[in-house]
Amino acid sequence: MTLGVVFLDRASVIANVRRPRGATDYLEYPHSEAHEVPLREAVLRQLPQLRMIAVAATGYDIVDVGYCRDHGIAVANIRNYAVHTVPEHAFALILALRRNLLAYRADVEQGLWNRSEQFCLLDHPILDLHGAQLGIIGEGVLGRAMAAIGAAFGMRAMFRDHPQRVGEDLEYQPLPRLLAESDVVSLHCPLLPSTHNLIGEAELRTMKRSAILINTARGGLVDERALVRALQEGTIAGAGFDVLTVEPPREGNPLLDLRLPNLIVTPHIAWASRGAMQFLADQLIDNIDAWAAGTPQNLVT
């Protein structure tokens, strides 16, 4: 069997990537334009010989899975590769925001500590994680890892209730109650039609004014313009985002226009520890090799 493999956006994976077994042709393209990445029906119709899409991520919303399923195109994704790096990044954001680290760093840079009349500065509130309520949306491996880390800090975790619960060993609450009672809300669910703009203006107004919102999942889960207003008006205390609705944000983004110490935006790097990227690269090629051998794994079709 002739097996041609094309790796798009190779430069986004800083890892050793072995050549798939049995690949008669193997091409790597370091970069792709944003319009070239989504594999929708119009594009897939032009690829009659395409038989398998190996997504180099857990999320596969860039692929028209329904079309692939109907036309015999296998789609595989990456599983459980970011179980440490994403929760660690999320908690880095949580700690920085709860303890107002950016505001205090700015104070030091501006010389306010030098001019202080006492040994410390206490211009911004510092809130403990111990005893705080952690609301998690998404109870997969990442959501559960968040709960475990939160427990080590002394936080209490609850998960958003929904019809497709994954296990009954967790505390579930309806979204309005989760938002109203949580001190930290962290998103770890996929972007689907049912979760698009899951957090909008009404949901943000439900949250505590002292609460923070963390998103290391997908940008489309949150109405970004509503979040801008919430931060400007003090509806919530802060936000830490590693994802935006459009990436890269070449046309800008309303969150990037803000210059607030209670907003941290990182460039989609929560997943990108060196260990996680190597695990991803190995599983990516494993998925291709398994499919070629007739024993496919990690299929979403």
**Neighbouring C-beta atoms of residue 212, cutoff 10 Å:** 25
Q: How many of the other CB atoms lie within 10 Å of CB of 16? A: 9
Q: Which of 245, 251, 244, 240 lies closest to 268 in space, CA to CA?
A: 244
Question: What type of residue sits at position 299?
Answer: L
pLDDT of residue 202: 98
How many percent of the chain have pLDDT more than 90?
Answer: 89
| Strand partners of residue 7 | 28
Collapsed DSSP state (helix, strand, coil) of residue 220: helix
Where does residue 218 rank: exposed (0-12), middle (13-18), buried (19+ CB within 10 A)?
A: buried
**Tens digit of pLDDT for each residue in 158-175?**
999 988 887 778 999 999
pLDDT recorded at residue 37: 80
Is residue 1 predicted with pLDDT exceeding 70?
A: no
Cis peptide before 193 (omega within 30 of 0): no
- Does the structure show a pLDDT above 80 at 35? no
> Both tokens of residue 3?
């097996």
41 is catalytic: no
Work out the burial of residue 3: count CB atoms within 10 Å of its CB; fewer than 13 is exposed, 13-18 middle, 19 or more buried.
middle
How many CB atoms within 10 Å of residue 233?
A: 11
Does the annotation count 209 as an active-site position? no
Q: Is the Cβ–Cβ distance between 134 and 184 less than 8 Å?
A: yes
| Candidate list 188, 203, 218, 224, residue with the active-site label | 218
- Give which of 153, 147, 145, 148 is closest to 127, Cα–Cα: 153
Q: What is the C-alpha separation between 193 and 115, in angstroms, rounded?
A: 53
SS3 26: strand
Average pLDDT value for residue range 274-300? 97
Work out the average pLDDT over 269-277.
96
Q: Which of 10, 124, 177, 268 is labelled catalytic?
A: 268
Q: Which of 71, 247, 250, 251 is catalytic?
A: 247
- Condensed to tens digits (0 to 9), the pLDDT of residues 41-76 reads 999 999 999 999 999 998 898 999 999 999 999 999
Mean pLDDT of the 95-106 span: 97
Better-predicted residue by pLDDT, 250 or 35: 250
At 166 the pLDDT is 79
Could you tell me the pLDDT band of residue 229, with boundaries at 50, 70 and 90? very high
The sheet carrying 212-215 orders its strands as 172-173, 156-160, 133-137, 184-187, 212-215, 238-241, 263-265
> What does the pLDDT read at residue 215?
98
| Angstrom distance (rounded) from CA 177 to CA 180 | 5
Neighbours of 237 (CB within 10 A): 22
Bridge partners, residue 263, by sequence? 239
What pLDDT is recorded for position 36? 78
Please give the pLDDT value at position 94.
Answer: 98
Contact 204, 235 (CB under 8 A): yes
Query: Average pLDDT in the 5-25 region?
Result: 93
Q: Which residue has the tokens 């119009």?
A: 42
pLDDT at 223 over 80: yes
**Residue for token pair 């660690």:** 88
Average pLDDT value for the chain? 95
The yes-or-no answer on residue 247 being catalytic is: yes
Answer yes or no: is pLDDT of 135 > 90.
Answer: yes
Q: Which letter, b or e, does each residue of 38-74 get, where b requires 16 or more Cβ atoms within 10 Å of its Cβ?
A: ebeeeebeeeeebbbbbbbbbebbebbeebbeebebb
